[in-house]
Structure 1
Amino acid sequence: MRWLLRVGATVTAIGLAAAPVVPAHAAPGLSDRQWWFGSWNIQEKVWPLTKGKGVTVAVIDTGVNARVPDLEAAVLPGADMTGRGGDGREDNDRYKGGHGTGMASLIASRGTSSGFYGIAPEAMILPIAAPVVSPPVTSNSIRYAVDHGAKVVNISLGLPGSDVFPNQCPPQLLDAVKYADSKDVVVVASAGDEGDTVNSPDYPGSCPGVLAVGALARDSKPWVSTQRQSYVTVGAPGQDVGWINKTGQVFDTGEGTSQAAALTAGAAALLRSHDPELSARQVVQRLTATARDFGPPGRDVMLGYGVISISRALTQNVPEDAPNPVYERLDKATASKAGDGATKPAAVEQDDSGGFPVLVVAGVVVALLVLGGGAFLLLRRRNSAMPTGPMGPMPSPPQQFGRPQQSPYQHGSQMQPPQYPPGGPHNPPPGR
């Protein structure tokens, strides 16, 4: 979903639709605009097996309006990490009309009022209001989700600049992802919406242990703006994918990797509901191994191993040694960090000679001088590059991926699913 939000001098706000096209009181029944249901055979092949019952999905976003009729039975009390107080069941999105509510609706909307269904309509939503991506806030949000019963975590947000960190992930955030892995929780994130422009690596999608999702367009090709990065593992529908906003109104369409990530989180919930014995690692491995190849043949930087196929993931056996790059990266990062830690005690060992205190004091003084000079230069550089306000330099802003768009279709019109090109093994519709 294309919903880019940047703050301060770097703002790129891509507009929200002027008005929704479907009122919240529309007659119940699956919306004919949800084309991904047909392409994934949700009603025919997925819902007869599972609708997500028994699984909680944490949505780390702008909060979720629990008073929306289609979501009120699905939303649990959560948390607000913004300092406003509350339990996450308010959507305080001031720019996009309710990004967090929209993501929750794609996952678990009951469809009772609007006819707009999530793909896992019996799953529960744990809302965590944390719209600003930062190592401490996002890390605490993941840990909260893990400690409060979530089996899947969705983060349809991102912040550029992960390439300055080891493993393309801030260490504090990597520790939170490791914690989720230790507690058997799947973490899903959007890959990013700037693939056709700056295409910078965005975290948390770039972090080892996070299932990063690219976006598929309706023409069976990668969406034009989906991020081109090696950390992208799978894809999901991301163009002409609408949502329910925080006032309960349904938008026909939208675009971006936010929607793709939310749909993938819903798919993970379906797998965990259908087979509770599957570990988080096995869920991600199944989604990866059973994905349908779209775009360039083989793994690519836009859709990874392909577009997820929920019915195949639910029913096909996957070898234990099938690729699982998300966790291979995490294990490598963990081993690397453990190796670093193992060498440090030897490096600081000292003998008991009388010169030890002098050496320590001298070393501390030198270290402080070096760190102080480096910090001064770094701050000076940052301050010269960052926009300023009345309170000084403004922080680097997050991105919120995905936006509803004004639809050319009127309520009741027939939106046809995409026409997949004939022939070849790399272009069947997802789920078939």
Structure 2
Amino acid sequence: MVRRLMWVAAATLAIALAGVPTAAAGAVPSPNVNQQWWFDSWAIERQVWPLTQGDGVTVALIDSGVNASLPDLRNVVLPGKDVTGGGTDGRKDIDEEAFGHGTGMASLIASQGTGTGFVGIAPGVKILPITNRDLGDATLVPAIRFAVDRGAKVINISQASAAGPRECPPAVQSAIAYAAQKDVVILAGAGNTGDTHNVPNFPASCPGVVGVGAIDNRGVPWKSSQRQDYVTVAAPGSGIPALSRDGRVWPQGDGTSHATALASGAVALVRSRYPNMSARDVVQLVTNTAVDLGPKGKDDMTGFGGISIRRALRQKVPANAPNPVYERLDRVLAQSSSGGSGAGSGPSAAEEDTGSGNGGLIKIAAIVMIGIGVIGAPITIAYDRRKKRNRNLPPPPPSYSGGPGPGMPPSFGGGQQPYGQAPQGQPPYGHGQGPYGPPPAQQPPYPPRQGE
């Protein structure tokens, strides 16, 4: 993400435990949709989990590491790597803030709900944690390559930094091209300064990366989400609880970091459902089944629209449907092959194609993957650390099923209405309308919400 997540309250979110048998990954708790509102918006339990929970897919998380000892994540997180030289295998969260950014993003994707009841949208996936403090070439490039070489099918980068004069540093572009050649989808946050200086942010600005914007529970773009033409799709990113590295559930986070994690989980679900579909085709499918949320057609805040997982799992798109992520990458690589400036890479990128179905990209990969050194100055650190750190958070209560912890207000968020419940008189994000509404009439409706 571009700057520190804006956590509205330090109260503990109480999510009731209610075991429910589901499809591929076995029994996981049923989420409380008044807090994890995206489960309702995306019809996860009714229309997605009966088809897939993400089994067989590894999502690489380039972030601050993940606390793999938490009950909710203990059986999900694989040994990874610390590209900063910290000596860990990624299964420790080194975030200097109390929250634990990497742990929170992992929980949105794959939390099992074992200790808290907080559930990820793709509980069948495995998380490959790659610890990286910033977006400098010296660490981001090996992080991407490690993820690809360890079998990740999706790479989540919930980080962003000002792109500078180039939309993408050459060495980073080379690593992204290598991932595309090896059939890996990369997603990154569009950036969190859209309501201020709104400069392009990389790696979301890099050709070959799915740039993700943030929306709230009404489908309205989050005010700080970047306004840039590289935004491909949008996902829930406002009012998003997540697990902290100490095992409690933090309420109400905002940012394209959250949106990217949930979008990565969505892509993992599609990849699990269609294991033989290429990365190129998966991105085309997700892009063209998105729900148009802003002005008609593509816009700079939500791209082609809000991701609709259930559409992507059930619909087909024409072979000639727009695929701007790969079209941009193809242009960059074609320019490089004809002698222009563009991507470079190390020798491993010229290995023989393994049948990813990436067409013209594969044919020119060996030509464009030429060595380019690390650019001079390190990229600005992605986490805009807040000078005031909240070190006085209350300890987590003994159980998350029994309501707020000792001394906590009766509702999390300092008495404000919980996210997932839309403002008075307004329906939640798409509830009852179109592809984001309840399932068809022959299926049970969603539980009613307060104020509806």
Output the TM-score relative to the length of structure 2. Answer: 0.75
Sort the Cα spacing of 1:421 and 1:138 in 2 relative to 1 into closer, same or farther, 3 A: closer
Residue 436 of structure 2 aligns to which amino acid in structure 1? P
Q: Which runs of 5+ in 1 are unaligned?
A: 6-12, 343-378, 383-393
Displacement, 1:163? 4.1
Which structure shows the bigger proportion of residues in helix conformation? 1
Residue 54 of structure 1 aligns to which amino acid in structure 2? G
Secondary structure of 1:71's aligned partner: coil
Tell whether the 8 Å contact from 2:42 to 2:309 is kept in structure 1 after alignment. yes
Alpha-carbon distance in structure 2 between the residues aligned to 1:234 and 1:415: 21
Q: Name the counterpart of 2:31.
A: 30
Secondary structure of 1:242's aligned partner: strand
Alpha-carbon distance in structure 1 between the residues aligned to 2:437 and 2:212: 15
Alpha-carbon distance in structure 1 between the residues aligned to 2:246 and 2:99: 8
Q: Name the counterpart of 2:237.
A: 238
Tell whether the 8 Å contact from 1:143 to 1:176 is kept in structure 2 after alignment. yes
Q: Name the counterpart of 1:51.
A: 53
Residue 55 of structure 2 aligns to which amino acid in structure 1? K
Sort the Cα spacing of 1:304 and 1:430 in 2 relative to 1 into closer, same or farther, 3 A: farther
Displacement, 1:401? 11
Q: Name the counterpart of 1:397.
A: 381
Q: Name the counterpart of 2:283.
A: 284
Alpha-carbon distance in structure 2 between the residues aligned to 1:114 and 1:286: 34
Identify which of 393, 400, 413 aligns with 1:408.
413
Displacement, 1:242? 1.2
Tell whether the 8 Å contact from 1:309 to 1:431 is kept in structure 2 after alignment. no
Bigger Rg, which one: 1
Sort the Cα spacing of 1:116 and 1:200 in 2 relative to 1 into closer, same or farther, 3 A: same
Secondary structure of 1:106's aligned partner: helix
Residues 9-47 of structure 1: CA deviation (Å, up to 9, x unaligned) = xxxx85674343348999954233100000100000000
Number of residue pairs aligned between Structure 1 and Structure 2:
371
Q: Name the counterpart of 1:348.
A: none
Sort the Cα spacing of 1:401 and 1:228 in 2 relative to 1 into closer, same or farther, 3 A: farther
Secondary structure of 1:205's aligned partner: coil
The answer to whether residue 2 in structure 2 is matched with residue 18 in structure 1 is: no
Q: Name the counterpart of 2:222.
A: 223
Q: Name the counterpart of 2:402.
A: none
Alpha-carbon distance in structure 2 between the residues aligned to 1:291 and 1:338: 33
Mapping of 1:14-413 within 5 angstroms? 17-22=9-14, 28-32=29-33, 33-95=35-97, 97-160=99-162, 162-165=163-166, 168-340=167-339, 396-399=380-383, 407-408=412-413
Residues 132-172 of structure 1: CA deviation (Å, up to 9, x unaligned) = 11122111100000000100000000111x2411xx10000
Tell whether the 8 Å contact from 2:37 to 2:419 is kept in structure 1 after alignment. no
Residue 131 of structure 1 aligns to which amino acid in structure 2? R
Alpha-carbon distance in structure 2 between the residues aligned to 1:105 and 1:155: 14
Tell whether the 8 Å contact from 1:308 to 1:431 is kept in structure 2 after alignment. no
Secondary structure of 1:143's aligned partner: helix
Alpha-carbon distance in structure 2 between the residues aligned to 1:422 and 1:115: 25
Displacement, 1:400? 6.3
Q: Name the counterpart of 1:360.
A: none
Displacement, 1:252? 2.6
| Alpha-carbon RMSD | 3.3
Sort the Cα spacing of 1:430 and 1:180 in 2 relative to 1 into closer, same or farther, 3 A: farther
Tell whether the 8 Å contact from 1:252 to 1:409 is kept in structure 2 after alignment. no
Q: Which runs of 5+ in 2 are unaligned?
A: 20-28, 342-375, 394-410, 440-452
Secondary structure of 2:238's aligned partner: coil
Sort the Cα spacing of 1:415 and 1:169 in 2 relative to 1 into closer, same or farther, 3 A: closer
Tell whether the 8 Å contact from 2:48 to 2:309 is kept in structure 1 after alignment. yes
Residue 152 of structure 2 aligns to which amino acid in structure 1? A
Q: Name the counterpart of 2:427.
A: 419
Tell whether the 8 Å contact from 1:238 to 1:255 is kept in structure 2 after alignment. yes
Tell whether the 8 Å contact from 2:214 to 2:234 is kept in structure 1 after alignment. yes
Identity of aligned residues (%): 48
